[in-house]
Structure 1
Amino acid sequence: MKKFYLFLLFAMISDFAVFAQSGIVKKEITLMTYNIYHGEDPYNPGTGNIREIADLINNIKPDLVALQEVDSMTNRTKNFNREGKMDVVHELGKLTGMTPFFAKAIDFSEGGYGEGILSRLPVTFHAYSLPIPNGGEERSLAVASVDLGNGKTITFAATHLCHEFAENRTAQVVAIKNILSEFKGAKVLTGDFNFTSEETGYSILSEDFLDVALKHGNPQNTYSSKDPKIRIDYFWLEKETDWEIVSVEVLDVEYSDHKPVLIKVRLLN
């Protein structure tokens, strides 16, 4: 295992060195978001979905992946992992060759639970706690500052808003906007927002961000994966940046109770 991580680190450093020396700015990026139901198949309890999710990511080869409902070394992961507790985002990093990051929202089942990010590009990572004025489960924001080359950066932020109270979701959206205002350059926000377009939080985000699926046309429902009746998983692009939305796709897989969303975008400035 130690040799594997040393190899992965060497490969990442080598790739970055070639990337940096080339002077090429990566302008088109492929991004994915997926609520993975803590790594267990919701329709077959006791069956893990990590390998299927990793295979999906390997087939698509996105530059960045946002993951929601991520377990880290919880007793719950022993339900579907014969080898014992699992750090889900690090396992996915190992299986995909991407760099894993974890933003814990709560202590849970003698481990952690929160948001994950996988990256193929050099990043600086930050994690933030979000407000819960009406009580309930704590939430987090995972933020990766991504180096695209030649001094160009993009901020990739991922979250999972409160599933219980609209008041919490509204406060969390306001907090996220304030946090992201401190980052320079292009910004992408994604995740499971637990709201539809009729809610206040959606309107607040729409003041400064574009709903990518709506902008691209014909947005598709994302929940549930077997019977998708609502759209609660989103990509948002900051309006101040000049973007080209190349493609938007909701993937028809049932490894989780949510469908993953995949987009390709291009920076025009």
Structure 2
Amino acid sequence: MQQQRLRILTFNIAHGRGLAPIQGLTLRRKLRTNLRRIARLILKLSPDIVALQEIDQHSRWAGNFDQLEYLRMHTGYPHAVFGINNHREGLLNLSYGNAFLSKLPVLDWESRAFGTRRVGEKGFLYAEFDCGGGGRLPLLNMHLHYRSRVRRFRQIEQVMDYVAAKHFDCGAQWALLPIVCGDLNNAAHLPDATAQLLRYFSLHGHYSLHPQGGFTFPSALPSRGLDFIFLPPGCAEVRCEIVPSYLSDHRPVWVDFALARNQVS
């Protein structure tokens, strides 16, 4: 049976500020320098799809430029999708959220904010990618609340409802269930959102959670695992790595895996 090998990278880039504590105090020139370093890291790791969190489209506190387009230009990736969770106009304008960079064409996508706040709102971005031969790779990229466990549970309820309507309850025969990734802002071993999501997805097949050990935050001296990728049944020969990097307060995580052609067709 013919197999296709894919690599996915998830990375909270912290508005491009690097290890600086506040993006609003970081010079535009420094932001661009750090984004070029992130672009070089992406090229080195060569993922097929990059899932980004805390990325700005046009925000005064982050240089007032499109960070996704800047990364796309410096990586040469042909496809990009922006999911804006926060939007505010005026003198203190901002626009930011989640995004995808991809070597694979995007067939369909949708962005959902969890609430209506104009600053600090989290959300998720869903997209389906063309794997060739009519195959679709569904991928959901999320960012959960950093402080409130109650809010995280409310947010994953929205994710579960969305995935259920899209994949589990619609009667369609999906060859591959969605891959889910992002900054979940809680550890997998705690009775929190990550563990609850894994239990939910495992009801629909043998999902696995990656990384299965190690820490991603803070990047300088990691002590917590906050960034994860959920892989559905059909993903085999999985490899995963937390990348030693100081380009954000989070360390990026990649997985690569083999898919049988009938899993994506």
Decide: shared fold, TM above 0.5.
yes
The aligned residue for residue 260 of structure 1 is: 252
Cα distance change of structure 1 residues 26 and 120 upon mapping to structure 2, 3 Å threshold: farther
Distance 1:173 1:211 in 2: 16
Gaps of 5+ in 1: 1-24, 79-84
Is 1:232 matched with 2:230?
A: no
Paired residues in the alignment total: 234
Q: How far off its partner does 1:199 sit?
A: 3.0
Distance 2:38 2:163 in 1: 29
Is 1:104 matched with 2:87?
A: no
Query: What SS does structure 2 have at the residue aligned with 1:246?
Result: strand
Q: How far off its partner does 1:26 sit?
A: 6.7
Q: How far off its partner does 1:246 sit?
A: 2.7
What is the TM-score when the length of structure 2 is the normalising length?
Answer: 0.81
Q: Give the one of 67, 70, 75 matched to 1:88.
A: 67
* RMSD across aligned positions (CA): 2.4
The aligned residue for residue 54 of structure 1 is: 39
Is 1:28 matched with 2:5?
A: yes
Is 1:188 matched with 2:176?
A: no
Distance 1:26 1:57 in 2: 24
Taking the TM superposition and a 5 Å limit, the aligned residue runs for 1:114-193 are 114-132=97-115, 137-181=120-164, 182-183=166-167, 184=174, 185-193=176-184
Distance 1:263 1:194 in 2: 19
Query: What SS does structure 2 have at the residue aligned with 1:70?
Result: strand
Distance 2:101 2:179 in 1: 15
Query: What SS does structure 1 have at the residue aligned with 2:229?
Result: strand
The aligned residue for residue 58 of structure 2 is: 73
What is the TM-score when the length of structure 1 is the normalising length?
Answer: 0.80
Identify the structure with bigger relative contact order (alpha carbons < 8 Å, sequence gap 6+).
2
Are the counterparts in 1 of residues 112 and 125 from structure 2 also a CA contact under 8 Å?
no
Gaps of 5+ in 2: 168-173, 202-206
Instruction: Give CA-to-partner distance per residue, 1:150-185, whole Å, 9 cap, x none.
Output: 222111111110112111111111211221230433
Q: Give the one of 5, 8, 18 matched to 1:41.
A: 18
Distance 2:55 2:192 in 1: 27
Query: What SS does structure 2 have at the residue aligned with 1:164?
Result: coil
Distance 2:84 2:135 in 1: 28
**Which ranges of 4 or more aligned residues in structure 1 deviate by more than 6 Å?**
none
Q: How far off its partner does 1:212 sit?
A: 2.4
Distance 1:126 1:255 in 2: 28
Are the counterparts in 2 of residues 130 and 175 from structure 1 also a CA contact under 8 Å?
no
Cα distance change of structure 1 residues 186 and 28 upon mapping to structure 2, 3 Å threshold: farther
Distance 1:187 1:40 in 2: 31
Q: How far off its partner does 1:189 sit?
A: 0.7
Are the counterparts in 2 of residues 26 and 148 from structure 1 also a CA contact under 8 Å?
no
The aligned residue for residue 170 of structure 2 is: none
The aligned residue for residue 211 of structure 1 is: 209
Distance 2:237 2:163 in 1: 21
Query: What SS does structure 2 have at the residue aligned with 1:27?
Result: strand
Distance 2:121 2:138 in 1: 23
Identity of aligned residues (%): 25
Are the counterparts in 1 of residues 81 and 101 from structure 2 also a CA contact under 8 Å?
yes
Which amino acid in the other structure matches residue 29 of structure 1?
A: L
Distance 2:93 2:218 in 1: 28
